[in-house]
Amino acid sequence: MLSILRRELKGYFDSLGGYGILAAFVVVMMLLSLLLDPDQQGDWFKRGELSMRSFFRVFPWVAAVVMPAVSMRLWSEDRRQATFELLMTLPLSTWRVALGKYLAALVFLVAMLASTVAFPLLLAAWGTPDWGPVLGGYLACFLLGAAFAAIGLFVSGLTENQALAFFGGMLMCIGIVSVGKLLPEFGDLARWNPNAALVHLVSLPIVALAVLAAVAGRDALVGGVAGVLGFVANTAVYLLDAGAEVTGKDVRATTPAAEGVIAALGQASVLEHFREIERGVVNTNGLVFFASLVVLFVFLNVWSLESRRHC
């Protein structure tokens, strides 16, 4: 496993590609952090204060693009250069090879975050920052980046085309981040139609997992059946509820089902856990959530590779 780790790290730092990603990450984060308005108070220059709020605010979106670029080559490059078969014949289990590649992506993620050390140094030089939220923010960035690296590893194992691996991983990561932005709208739906919200909350993740499993296991039938069943369930709940009596806009606002759906959605939101840790509140829920994402996609990656090995 260590030999795989060293091999992948050499691939990152023996070419201009790895340094290009590092440079692009620092430049983009610097520009967005300096110029964006996190709380309608103006950018750094208008506010007249140094703060890393905008840095941590934009990181999930930047990481959703950068981390797929980091991990797109992990398996795609081996398949393109016909070294994939050689790796599969090594006296190493598939999960050790996958874990070695994943750890290399994590080391590169740490290098990316370390390259932004100028931001907290500026805070220390020109002010008296509260280091709790700063350290919590960096921990949140690492956990989110680790989850995105696992997603990119999984997608990279599905194709030999690095561009396709990049765009596929980017779309998945952006979609996961976007779910957190839909939380207010979903909360309104839960208050207006808790049955529909509950069906969406339960069925959509199951359908997504079934489709991912079908892709990993090369079983199109499973993915197709899961997609059809999910569509039927999410459509039928509106048809069955069409005759429900509605006496006011907020008639269902206090139903236990609505509150339960909203609470469950908060637990399933990447941005909610990210922001909680960013504020310095490191709890078991957030750590387990990100660890579960990592384990899920590394497992799917190994499953996909094993299914190809035995074909």
The string of pLDDT tens digits covering residues 149-166 is: 999 999 888 878 888 888
- Provide the domain count of the chain: 1
Q: Tell me: the pLDDT tens digits for 283-293?
A: 888 899 899 99
* pTM of the complete model beyond 0.95: no
CB 198 within 8 A of CB 264: no
Give the integer Cα–Cα distance in Å for 121 and 139.
17
Q: Tell me: the pLDDT tens digits for 86-120?
A: 777 777 778 888 898 999 999 999 999 999 888 88
CA angle 146, 152, 158 (to 5 degrees): 145
Check residue 218 and give its pLDDT.
59
Tell whether the torsion through CA atoms of 198, 200, 204 and 207 is positive or negative. Answer: positive
Q: Is residue 259 part of a domain?
A: no
Q: Is residue 230 part of a domain?
A: no
Percent of the chain surpassing pLDDT 90: 16
Q: Is residue 238 part of a domain?
A: no
Give the integer Cα–Cα distance in Å for 147 and 145.
5
Q: For residue 229, name the pLDDT band (cuts at 50, 70, 90).
A: confident
Q: Is residue 206 part of a domain?
A: no
Angstrom CA distances, 251 to 198, 254, 294, stand at 17, 8, 40
**In the predicted model, what is the mean pLDDT of residues 66-71?**
92
CB atoms within 10 A of CB 166: 21
Rounded to the nearest angstrom, the gap between the alpha carbon of residue 180 and the centroid of all alpha carbons in its chain is: 11
Tell whether the torsion through CA atoms of 87, 90, 93 and 96 is positive or negative. Answer: negative
Task: Give the range of the structural domain holding residue 291, as residue numbers without chain letter.
Answer: 2-179+270-309
Q: Is residue 96 part of a domain?
A: yes
Check residue 213 and give its pLDDT.
63
Q: Is residue 304 part of a domain?
A: yes
CB 242 within 8 A of CB 222: no
Q: Tell me: the pLDDT tens digits for 214-224?
A: 665 556 666 67
Which one has a higher pLDDT value, 180 or 79?
A: 79
Give the integer Cα–Cα distance in Å for 180 and 22.
27
Which one has a higher pLDDT value, 133 or 254?
A: 133
Q: Is residue 86 part of a domain?
A: yes
Q: Is residue 233 part of a domain?
A: no
Which one has a higher pLDDT value, 248 or 212?
A: 212
